[in-house]
Amino acid sequence: MKIAIMTSGGDSSGMNPAIKKFVEYSYEKGYEPYFIYNGLEGLIDGQIKKAEYKDVGGIIYRGGTIIRSSRSKRWFEKEYRKKAYENIKKENIDLLIILGGDGSFRALDIFYKEFKVPFMGIPASIDNDLPMNEYMIGVDTALNVIRCAIDDIRDTASSFNRAFVIETMGRECGYLALTSAVANGAEMCLIPEVKFNLENLKKRYLKEISEGRSYFISIVAEGLKITEKIKDWFEEEIGFEARATVLGHIQRGGSPTVLERLRAAEFIETALDNFEKTPNKIVTYYKDKFILRDLDEIVNSKYTLDERMLQLAKPLMGLN
């Protein structure tokens, strides 16, 4: 049986450990592993090649994805999806494994409804915005990259009595900002999912300054598009010299953490252990266990943030 793996959409650390496990576990179970290079674009162009042990030697510590990824405009045209299907049939691929996020699974949904190619989906995105799922490959490494950046910024913030506004990635999802703010002791957390109250924050900050506070760490999600405005707000309303730092794509890179490597292997094993009896599923991680879910269930549901985390962060949003 021939099984092909591809990485789609934004890259994330942990993809390479997953790719390594895919090759090794496929051979262990008697399957033939194949790589699809360059994501959906590569699938359209037929960039499919049999994978060998040598291809994955020494990649477990590397961030990114050795088979590369892409975002494809051509995929939205049926003629190119048909071409992708023909490439799969030409190589006699029996199963397609996709590592990706919400957009990738929506692309997969269209593809499956048209051509019924058997698949297994594995969540991989630093955004962590997949419904009915609590962990996506890449999240832990991204959070640790952010942690290191905040620790470093805190050194200079405390030395110069400044406010630092740090922008995290995540598109319209505030997961990275929310988790990082709580985990790293920030004084402010602003995310798209919750209406914040700057007036309440101002009252609190001025009181804290009168009691000796000498610097501020503010975490702002990129989806709000207000990082510079919050920097100006600190200077104009709070009277603190402020700096804005956009962390950007460093959050996608870095050597995968121990948790990332373990979780990636578990996702792959779950997919390969189950696809023959229950194909066409998304492997999700929910309440400390792996659950196979229907693709329709995923694409037709809305992602929500953890209520416990939101409660912890309310004071950082001026909502206490």
E-only strand ranges, 93-235: 95-100, 119-123, 163-168, 188-190, 216-221
User: How would CATH label the architecture of 140-252?
Assistant: 3-Layer(aba) Sandwich (3.40)
Q: Answer for the pair 39, 9: CB distance below 8 angstroms, yes or no.
A: yes
Q: Residue 193's pLDDT band (boundaries 50, 70, 90)?
A: very high
- The yes-or-no verdict on residue 37 having pLDDT over 90 is yes
**Which distant-in-sequence residues (6+ apart) come within 8 Å of 174 by Cβ?**
191, 192, 193, 194, 221, 223, 305
Q: Answer for the pair 186, 131: CB distance below 8 angstroms, yes or no.
A: no
Residue with tokens 């592993």: 33
Q: What DSSP letter does each residue of 54-113 carry, written as one string?
A: GGGTT-TT--S-TT-----SGGGSHHHHHHHHHHHHHTT--EEEEEE-HHHHHHHHHHHH
Q: Residue 249's pLDDT band (boundaries 50, 70, 90)?
A: very high
Q: Answer for the pair 218, 180: CB distance below 8 angstroms, yes or no.
A: no
What values do phi and psi take at 244, rounded to 5?
-110, 135
Whats the size of the chain, residue-wise? Answer: 320
CATH 3.40.50.450 positions along the chain are 2-138+256-302
- The yes-or-no verdict on residue 320 having pLDDT over 80 is no
How far apart, in whole angstroms, are the C-alpha atoms of residue 94 and residue 36? 13
User: Average pLDDT in the 39-61 region?
Assistant: 98
Give pLDDT tens digits for 255-284.
999 999 999 999 999 999 999 999 999 999
Domain 2-138+256-302 grouped into CATH 3.40.50.720: no
Give pLDDT tens digits for 213-232.
999 999 999 999 999 999 99
What's the half-sphere exposure (Cβ side, CA atoms, 13 Å) at 18? 36
Instruction: Provide the mean pLDDT of the chain.
Output: 97
**Which distant-in-sequence residues (6+ apart) come within 8 Å of 260 by Cβ?**
13, 14, 17, 137, 138, 139, 140, 141
Tokens of 318: 């001026």
Give pLDDT tens digits for 108-144.
999 999 999 999 999 999 999 999 999 999 999 999 9
- The yes-or-no verdict on residue 11 having pLDDT over 90 is yes
Kind and range of the H or E element at 267? Answer: helix 258-274
Strands 289-294 and 119-123: unpaired
**pTM, rounded to two decimals:** 0.96
127 belongs to the catalytic site: yes
Tokens of 138: 């890449």
Tokens of 196: 């914040």
**Is the C-alpha dihedral spanning 105, 106, 107, 112 positive or negative?**
positive
Burial class (CB in 10 A: 0-12, 13-18, 19+), 152: exposed
Type of residue numbered 272: L
Residue among 127, 129, 155, 288 flagged as catalytic: 127
How far apart, in whole angstroms, are the C-alpha atoms of residue 134 and residue 70? 24
% of the chain surpassing 90 pLDDT? 99
The reported pLDDT for the residue numbered 291 is 98
Cα distances from 42 to residues 8, 32, 68, 93, in angstroms, run: 10, 19, 9, 15
User: Average pLDDT in the 181-200 region?
Assistant: 98
